[in-house]
Amino acid sequence: MFFSPQWFLLLPVFAVIGWYFRPLDLWRPRRFIPLLLITLILVDPQIKRLKDGLDLWVLVDRSSSAADIVDQNIAEWRRLLEKSRPSKADKLNFVDYASEVVTQSNTETTVYPGQRNLTRTALALEDVIALADRKKRSRILIFTDGYSTEPLSGIGEKLAKLSIPLDYRLLSAEDSVDYQITHLNIPNRSQIGEPFLMEVKVIGNRDGDVPITIYRNQEKLADNTVKIFQGSGSLKFTDRITRGGSFQYEARISPQTDAYPGNNRYENWIEVHSGPRIILVTNYIKDPLINILQNQGFDVQVVQEPALLKIGQLSGCKNVIFNNVPAHEIPQSFLKALDFFITQQGGGFLMVGGKHSFGSGGYFDSPVDPLLPVSMELKSEHRKLSVAMAIVMDRSGSMAMTTAGGQTKMQLANEGAARAVELLGSQDLITIYAVDSTAHEIVPLINVEAGRGDIINRARSIKSMGGGIFVYEGLKAGWNSLNKAEAGQRHMILFTDAADSEQPGQYKSLLKQITSNGGSVSVIGLGTRADPDAAFIEDVAKRGNGRIFFTTDPASLPNIFAQETVTVARSTFIDEPLNTKTTGGWFEISNQNMKWPATIDGYNLSYLRDGDTASLKSADEYTAPLVATGRRGIGRTAAISFPLGGEFSRKVRDWPAVGDFMQTLNRWLMGEQVPPGIGIRTHLKGTELTIDLLYDDKTWGDQFTTTPPKLILSEGLTGTPQTRELIWERISPEHYSLRTDLAEGQPVRGAIRISNQQALPFGPLVVGSSTEWAFNTERIEELKTLSTSSNGRALIDLSDAWQKPLRRDYASIQPWLLTLLLIGIILDALITRTGWQMPQLSLASLVTARVRKTKSKKADDNQPAQKSAPEAKLESSPPPEELTPPPSTPPKSARSRFARAKRRGK
């Protein structure tokens, strides 16, 4: 197209001028072409560069804070936008976003598949900008509550560059009353017994009293109220802690009316510094290790309720000791946390033997198994008795519920049963029942080796159906099968819902019959001890001489099944006195010789791992390690296979050197002290964590030049922690720093490795409250400003969403034409100054050349082998006169433009 076609009227004007003023030579190319270019420049030709239609990108906030409103209206919004679409060339694109960005189908409303705990508006806009067709008009419409959890900086420039307007519609509940905790201010560190001040800040849009509860390590400390006046209020209180470690504080408000409960809690952590200490986890009422360690000058924190262990207790700890404590009594989160504590933070770990330790305690294939210097994999030739096991599974309707991981409770329980089958030996027997109101045989009593794969497949195929579980029916069916076995040990695992275990029946008499015939029953209860049927199933385990497990996390079921199976099928405690023999491995720990006990009362059978060291071994047929040590990462671990307490520890407790032994071993496990001149500083703002490493350049400069420090973070206190290494930025010769974002509700622990054997541990640290529910009003104003700067607006009528933005569809080629005109002017000036002319050929010259060419071709066709001299001479003579053209006029001398004009004027 032409932007100003009226300028084409200049062409007839130029033609008239050229006709009446012929001396101007306007028909010559160097005159005509510039005039044509000038005309085209004025006309301004345009090339179409944009496609027809409009791409409308609809961003839908699917985060938790906007989910209810969006779910109620998304179908209507889609219908209205489709109805008001002007033409088929216009395209509607829906994009859902929260923590992730998902482009959805345009034909139906789908469920958002991602996490909803963040509102990443900037990420969604970045994605749309990247996807937008540069050759077509685009417009963005966003449905959101406006509370983005990330800043929108840098987006405005990109929208302006592409001429993409941003329209918005803010979503909010009408006349909603909301209260939220904005801060829980607490010191990062404190000393043992030192009082410290904490402050909770609460805001709300209606004045009044708001109930608040304070917790420490999930235990209630106090109830109080916060008075909200003119939109805000605060509560201050003091506390002091008399033991070392890190402690979690949490504040929760419970207003009677509240639109968004997601912002009603806030948590923070404090580290109570106490110097290096040892955590001793024991079930002995008077553990002899307490006096042994304290007499050697160690600060010992005794834990006699393993179920209450918290990961925060590892802060400031240098060594953890498990003294004859079964694995099922220790929280899985604590067991998993030991890997990072040892390998990255440089901590120590010691397991002491007994009937509830090592393989007998269910530690085989547990999170601490690979950390130990001994293997608990019982060799088949060392097994004395086979096991007949019955697994009785609850398949009631409650097992059909889906967990957070996407699997049902039944599927996870099935996986636990399959894991149990995998751990049984080739000589063991197995039977499996699924129970609702009756018992259904899934696998008859069969030798495991005869069909392990088929048994596992059957175990995984159990479906949830029926009402509650009839416990008595399941126990009776399982025992009837076990009673047929000739195995030396009969054991039953009952899996049931702690809140829905029905029909106890004559379970007491049945259990008495089972135990009197050498059988035992353990129970895995899905729930807590506070559930309605918890006392009943706990009594089943007690009367069945077994163990009771409670869990509220279905994902932990496979691990619990594995622990129980290992405890039964791989019981490896040898309760007979035996002699010992030394190996010389102790000198890797100490340069002092150790006077070992000549005999011990019993031990846990295990096998030394490759690369680890045994200082003392059994003098029996197994030659098993009794004292073994090893290194894991930058940490150290040890295994004492004989008991140090209880009925099989008399000879060891009478050992004169037991105190020196424990002192030397624990000091080795605690590692080396970090030299002075180095420290860390952490600061958490929102979800951004800043870590600074400050050091004395004289002490650490040379070392960090060759081996820079490494920073490793472990994220999460439940499930399997995720570990990642971060990259430092060197700020100055004595200062490293970095920043990283943390996930909500995921406490992190860290370690700065400053050498191959030393690290500076820190944490836990946590994002105190959900940023999704923080409702920062600055983000709404930021969105409005961004929309205005991009020529967008707040959208009331959705039919206006299809308004095309002001963006030129065509591109001008004027710059190219101007370039050609400039080249033409320069060439014209050059020709004028030099007098250069195009070479001209007359008609006669052309005719002569043609005749010569024709004769030459005929001569070549008829040429004899040799020609006589006269012929050659004749052939070279000039052509006849009548064909010879008249002589051409000698070229005229060059004359300037002014000379020619002067001559014509005469």
Residue 396 or 476, more confident: 476
User: Is pLDDT above 70 for 90?
Assistant: yes
- Tell me the pLDDT tens digit for each residue of 141-158: 999 999 898 889 889 999
Q: Which residues are paired to 64 by β-bridges?
A: none
695: Cβ contacts below 8 Å, ≥ 6 apart: 677, 678, 679, 701, 704, 734, 735
Q: Which of 48-62, 73-87, 866-880 is predicted least confidently?
A: 866-880
What is the distance between the alpha carbons of residues 461 and 418, in angstroms, rounded to a whole number? 10
**Chain centre distance of CA 52:** 41
Encoded tokens for 409? 């409770």
Give the rounded percent of residues in the chain with a pLDDT score beyond 70: 88
pLDDT (average), residues 9-15: 83
User: Does 404 have pLDDT greater than 80?
Assistant: no
**pLDDT exceeds cutoff 80 at 548:** yes
For residue 852, the tally of other CB atoms under 10 A from its CB is 11
Give the count of alpha carbons within 13 A of 321, CB side only: 30
- CB contact at 8 A, 642 and 649: yes
Residue-wise pLDDT for 466-510, tens only, equals 667 788 999 999 999 998 887 578 999 999 988 888 778 888 999
**Gap between the Cα atoms of 770 and 299, Å rounded:** 37
Please report the pLDDT score of residue 884 as a whole number: 47
Query: Which one, of 530, 529, 507, 524, lies nearest residue 562 by Cα?
Result: 524
Pairing of strands 519-526, 489-497: parallel
In this predicted model, what pLDDT tens digit does every residue of 689-710 receive, in sequence order?
899 999 998 888 888 888 889 9
Tens of pLDDT, residue by residue over 731-754, are 888 899 999 888 777 888 999 999
In degrees, rounded to 5, the angle at the alpha carbon of residue 781 between the alpha carbons of residues 778 and 787 is 140
Please provide the average confidence, as pLDDT, over all residues in the chain: 85
What's the pLDDT score for residue 883?
45
According to the model, what pLDDT value does residue 545 have?
Answer: 92
CA distances from 77 to 69, 83, 108, 271 (A): 12, 10, 12, 51
In this predicted structure, what is the pLDDT of residue 108?
Answer: 55
- Asked whether residue 881 carries a pLDDT value surpassing 50, the answer given is no
618 Cβ partners below 8 Å, 6+ apart?
578, 579, 580, 581, 603, 624, 626
Query: Does residue 88 or residue 669 have the better pLDDT?
Result: 669
Residue type, 424: L
pLDDT confidence of residue 494:
94
Tell me what pLDDT residue 871 has.
47
Integer Cα distance of 367 and 372 in angstroms: 10
What was the pLDDT predicted at 50? 59
CA–CA separation, 394 and 435 (whole Å):
5
* Interval 583-610 mean pLDDT: 92
Helical residues (DSSP H) of 549-593, grouped into ranges: 557-569
pLDDT range class, residue 874, cuts 50, 70, 90: very low
Over residues 188-244, the pLDDT tens digits come to: 888 888 899 999 999 998 899 999 999 999 899 999 999 999 989 999 989 999 888
Q: pLDDT at position 244, please?
A: 86
Determine the average pLDDT of the residues in 829-834: 77
Distance CA 415, CA 393 (A): 11
Of 102-111, 319-328, 604-613, 790-799, the range with the lowest mean pLDDT is: 102-111
pLDDT-based confidence at residue 290 (cuts at 50, 70, 90): very high
DSSP 45: B
CB of 699 closer than 8 Å to CB of 675: yes
Do residues 94 and 58 touch, judged by C-beta distance below 8 A? yes
What would the mean pLDDT of 389-415 be, rounded to a whole number? 84
What pLDDT does 544 receive? 94
pLDDT number for residue 663: 92
- pTM value? 0.69
CB-based contact 759:717 (threshold 8 Å) = no
Contact 822, 33 (CB under 8 A): no
How many angstroms separate the CA atoms of 618 and 580, rounded? 5
Q: Tell me the pairing of strands 489-497 and 387-394.
A: parallel
Q: What is the model's pLDDT at position 38?
A: 84
Cα–Cα–Cα angle for 703, 707, 709, nearest 5°?
Answer: 95
Q: What is the mean pLDDT of residues 417-441?
A: 90
More confident residue, 267 or 716: 267
Between β-strands 607-608 and 678-685, what pairing exists: parallel, antiparallel or unpaired?
unpaired
